[in-house]
Amino acid sequence: MTIPRRFNGPPDLGHGGYSCGSVAVLVDAPAASVSLRRPVPLDMPLDVRRGDGATVALFYRDEVVAEGAPAELELDVPEPVPVEAARAARGGNPWLQRHPFPTCFGCGSERDRAEAIATLLGPVAGREGVMADTWTPQAEFADGDGAVTRLFAWAALDCPTGAAAVKPESGPQVLARLTARPGPAAAVAGEEHVVMAWLLGREGRKSRGAAAIVSPKGEICGVSEGLWIALRDPETHGAKVDPAP
């Protein structure tokens, strides 16, 4: 497989959620966990290798890029955020003016929502610790029945976990592992959904956040947990660094 350049996270590297989702769709399980072992190259041939126990690995030449396996994921999802509150929260996103990866497919402040996911979650008024934005999936992200595919559900469930987990003052972080379970309801193209996220914990250079996609009817369309790692040298990933956050 290849990760097309359109689906970047850092400027010249694969978007974590799209890359993890490309592996997860090959794992025969409702929920999967995919670990990124090195930055994902764009527009380069990647070898898919299956292992024991439904595991799937992605290789670039002889290096492991990502490893996926079946997983269990149990999360206490907060009360769904109303659409109006999610729309209002977007304007409060702390990364709007200092995004380290402004062209990111999942949350880039410079990406057009007509061709990317580009959710920019902000704090929800009156809901301590909960962040949200809305997302109206494009038809190209869905199957013939209008249901968003597992790949793009994974892509949409990535960056929100970081929005909740990463403190802006801590500097750029990148996804190290994404565990996700799309469903039980399907997100539907053309309908305005709520994407919400909340903090799970922080320790040293590691931050963990959770996210959920909620349908207009209040149904859960997917949940995820993301592990993020602070970059020792942001330049290695082409991150823009605000000298005075």
Predicted local distance difference test score (pLDDT) of residue 242: 64
For residue 74, the Cα-to-chain-centroid distance in whole angstroms is 18
| Angle formed at CA 123 by CA 122 and CA 129, multiple of 5 degrees | 130
pTM given for the model: 0.95
Q: Is the pLDDT of residue 245 over 80?
A: no
Burial of 63 from C-beta contacts in 10 A (0-12 / 13-18 / 19+)? exposed
| CA-angle at 122, arms to 128 and 72, nearest 5° | 75
Q: Domains in the chain and their CATH numbers?
A: 5-70 (3.10.129.10), 83-237 (3.10.129.10)
Instruction: Name which of 185, 159, 186 is nearest 173 in CA terms.
Output: 159
Give me the pLDDT at residue 238, please. Answer: 84
- 36-72 pLDDT, tens digit each: 999 999 999 999 999 987 999 999 999 999 999 999 9
Could you give the percent of the chain with pLDDT greater than 90? 87
